[in-house]
Amino acid sequence: MSAFPPDSASVARQVPLPTPFALQAGGELRGAEVAVESYGRLSPARDNAILLFTGLSASAHAAAHPGDTTPGWWEPMIGPGRAFDTERYHVISVNSLGSCFGSTGPGSTDPATGKPYGEAFPELRVEDIARASQAAVEASGIERLHAVVGTSLGGMTALAHAALFPGKARFLVSVSGALNASAYAVATRSQQREIVGAALRGFPGAPSVGQAMRWARKIGVLSYVGSSLLEQRFGRDQTEPFAGRASGTAFEVENWLEHLAQKFEHQFDPWSYWHISRAMDLFDFGEHGGTADGESPGRRRTAASAARAAARFRVEEALVIGVHEDILFPLVQQRAIADTLKVAGVKTELVELHSAYGHDAFLTETALFTPVLRNFLGQGRESATSRPSHPALDSLSQ
């Protein structure tokens, strides 16, 4: 699986953040750090770096490297000749601030108390993830990134980065991201947090934390994958008539969900899950555009404020990729990102793919994403963006 060359410059490291590290919502962290992996050599001019922002639950381990030869979460995309060609680019992958895979988060020791932060972890926002990652980039002496790329939450983070650090990246790629969360996304994620939060706080009638994490994960998975995938993979298959489980049935789709839930329970810190999930719901790109004269500062942020935020971008070109079957970050939101960037004068390519995997497509259907990203990130990009759509790709997985 490993694709690194013997003379790889790929490394995993902890990068200390400036201290105190001020947070978007007013709090601060002291002695914080982020876990970073990088793949491919940084050029002498330090102009070939691509910063990769992850989804909610991923670590910085996006690809195998000599120090960790297990496949990364985007393994087929990163390596020599792959979409993120490590012969050309220096890919920097950062574990989100607030997460639990080496970056400072609720599971880390609070230097003020000597104990894990837990509930006391300060309010986290998507902007904090963007700032912490940018600090790691600057620690490598990189003045300007070739590109920022983000998937899911990472797409939101890429937009936040472009708003916070205009001119610091030439290109922007958002994969299944959003300007802000839809009402459905808020509803399903807040429900996951309600279950986990009630358990963490020991509310009356709450389940155990482990049980809460398993249920939250199952609710989450049902928002990540397309229903047609479940139909194709499981249909109505059953393992045995009644397994005596609390649902009273034993459909294989239940076994699969339980397997994913148990794996996740032992992998992810509950407070990290709660904080990052909340940050996703609270993110609103339009906040970076403020309110114009005569415009109501009402609850529903206008397309105009998003366009004003994007107008500050100094991105040369953007690529927005979405998936028709995605119910969590639906296509209408991909079009909204692209429209916002176009109105702001950013040359933008929108690619709409089909995949039964829905929101999770970028993790699994890498063969669909590879040509789109490779095209954009270098070879033949100029000619590619002159085409308005990708009908061949659009029908690949139908």
Task: Give me the active site residues, please.
Answer: 152, 326, 359
Q: How far apart are CA 280 and CA 301, in angstroms?
A: 16
Cβ distance to a second copy smaller for residue 253 or 396: 253
Unique residue bearing structure tokens 């998937």? 151
Binders of a second copy in range 214-243 (CB under 8 A) = 215, 218-219, 222, 227, 230-231, 233-238
Backbone φ and ψ for 123, nearest 5 degrees, come out as -55, 130
Binders of a second copy in range 168-207 (CB under 8 A) = 180-184, 186-188, 190-191, 193-198, 201, 203-207
CA distances from 396 to 144, 356, 369, 391, 392 (A): 36, 11, 11, 9, 6
Residues 44-78 as b/e (b if ≥16 CB within 10 A, e otherwise) read eeeebbbbbbbbbbbbbbbbbbeebeeebbbbbbb
Q: Which of 9, 42, 139, 253 binds a second copy (CB under 8 A)?
A: 253
User: Do the Cβ atoms of 62 and 10 come closer than 8 Å?
Assistant: no
Per-state percent for the chain, helix, strand, coil, to nearest 5: 40, 15, 45
Q: Which of 7, 26, 297, 300 binds a second copy (CB under 8 A)?
A: 300
- Using CB under 8 A as the criterion, what x/- string covers residues 54-83 for binding a second copy? ------------------------------
Q: How far apart are CA 119 and CA 192, in angstroms?
A: 16
User: Do the Cβ atoms of 223 and 188 come closer than 8 Å?
Assistant: yes
Q: Which of 6, 44, 248, 297 binds a second copy (CB under 8 A)?
A: 248
The yes or no reply on residue 46 touching a second copy (CB under 8 A) is: no
Unique residue bearing structure tokens 């397994």? 243
Q: Give the nearest distance from C-beta 298 to a second copy in angstroms.
A: 9
Cβ distance to a second copy smaller for residue 139 or 186: 186
Q: Which of 109, 113, 208, 267 binds a second copy (CB under 8 A)?
A: 208
The yes or no reply on residue 303 touching a second copy (CB under 8 A) is: no
DSSP per-residue string spanning 234-254: TTT-BSSS----TTS--BHHH
The yes or no reply on residue 302 touching a second copy (CB under 8 A) is: no
What does the binding site for a second copy look like in residue numbers (CB under 8 A)?
Answer: 180-184, 186-188, 190-191, 193-198, 201, 203-208, 210-211, 215, 218-219, 222, 227, 230-231, 233-238, 245-249, 251, 253-254, 257, 274, 278, 281-282, 284, 299-301, 327, 330
